[in-house]
Amino acid sequence: MGSPHVPVTMGSASARTRVAGSVDVTEARFPPGAVLERHVHERPIVCVMLEGSFDHVGDRGSRDCSPGTVLIEPAGDPHGNAIRRAGARVLVVEPEPSDELLRSVEGLLEASAYFRHPGIVARAHALATELSAKDAAAPLALEAGALELLAVAARLKTYARGAEPAWLRRVREMVDDRFRDPLRLSDLAHEAGVHPAHMSRAFRERYHETIHARVRRLRLEWAAQRLAETDDPIAAIALAAGFADQSHLTRALKGRSGLTPAAYRRERS
């Protein structure tokens, strides 16, 4: 009989794990500047960045994992992690691949992947909250939530294998490059050579968020990173990120984290 499986903590000294049926769910926190040397995981994992960021360094290069990133790491895939100035808080779902129920998502776990999906991130935040629940239904809720997260990730990865239209990739790249600038749907559609309504619908179906939602998310993530990593005035960060003013940034950040910009900076600096 082999040695018992030890749930992944990703090297975190402050991690909490609960076993939910055939899935381990872990919330791990890392201090600013920590470096996780090259390592592998015994089981495949689905890792969701909840707060902060780190660089994921593998054989295919370095990936910037900021809030909202979903990272899939197959078992035995060597990599390292460099935690940035704001530290990092991640939610890790670690399934037992040999379990009968999970064979339907084997394809999800066999190759590395890196993407964003608001629905998966929302489920990851809910699972992190469920880790603290003490009622009798908590184990069932945790297992159900973890399996749902895996199912959504598997569907998304299957869909992503399809060819991405060149014009749609162009729209995504324009949004990602110019999210801090005033963007108009008509201008994006004109540059892509498609109708605005068709562009908006295709973007939402492909990336699981609207163009406006992506712009708002990227602006907020950029501003949050600047708050954590610089001493720039909050008002200046708000304007540079594309917000109307400091109050606009404050409402957006409080809506996501419950913190004002000043409080967010104190916690993560």
pLDDT of residue 1: 39
Q: 66-78 pLDDT, tens per residue?
A: 888 888 888 888 9
Kindly tell me if the per-residue pLDDT of 9 is higher than 70.
no
Q: 138-194 pLDDT, tens per residue?
A: 889 999 999 889 888 877 765 555 567 889 989 999 999 999 999 999 999 999 999
* Cβ(228)–Cβ(85) below 8 Å: yes
The set of residues, in sequence order, having a beta carbon less than 8 Å from that of 268 and lying 6+ positions away, is 32, 51, 52, 85, 86, 87, 227, 228
Residue 4 in tokens:
């018992």
CATH architecture under which domain 14-160 falls: Sandwich (2.60)
Q: 108-128 pLDDT, tens per residue?
A: 677 778 877 878 888 999 999
The domains spanning 14-160 and 166-268 adopt the same CATH topology: no
Torsions phi, psi for 214 (to 5 deg): -65, -45
Pairing verdict, β 23-30 and 45-58: unpaired
Domain ranges across the chain: 14-160, 166-268
Kindly tell me if the per-residue pLDDT of 47 is higher than 90.
yes
pLDDT of residue 164: 73
The Cα 34–Cα 52 span in angstroms is 12
DSSP 70: E
DSSP 104: G
pLDDT of residue 3: 44
CB-CB neighbours of 111 under 10 Å = 12
Kindly tell me if the per-residue pLDDT of 209 is higher than 90.
no
The Cα 211–Cα 265 span in angstroms is 28
**pLDDT classification of 245: cutoffs 50, 70, 90:** very high
**pLDDT classification of 204: cutoffs 50, 70, 90:** confident
The three-state DSSP-derived secondary structure of 8-32 is: CCCCCCEEEEEEECCEEEEEEEECC
> Which amino acid is it at 17?
T
Kindly tell me if the per-residue pLDDT of 211 is higher than 70.
yes
pLDDT of residue 157: 63
Kindly tell me if the per-residue pLDDT of 269 is higher than 90.
no
Kindly tell me if the per-residue pLDDT of 102 is higher than 50.
yes
Kindly tell me if the per-residue pLDDT of 62 is higher than 90.
no
Average pLDDT of the residues in 12-16? 75
Mean pLDDT computed over every residue of the chain: 85
Kindly tell me if the per-residue pLDDT of 60 is higher than 80.
no
Q: 22-33 pLDDT, tens per residue?
A: 889 999 999 988
Average pLDDT of the residues in 239-259? 91
The pTM of the full predicted model, rounded to 2 decimals, is: 0.61
pLDDT of residue 2: 42
CATH topology of domain 166-268: Arc Repressor Mutant, subunit A (1.10.10)
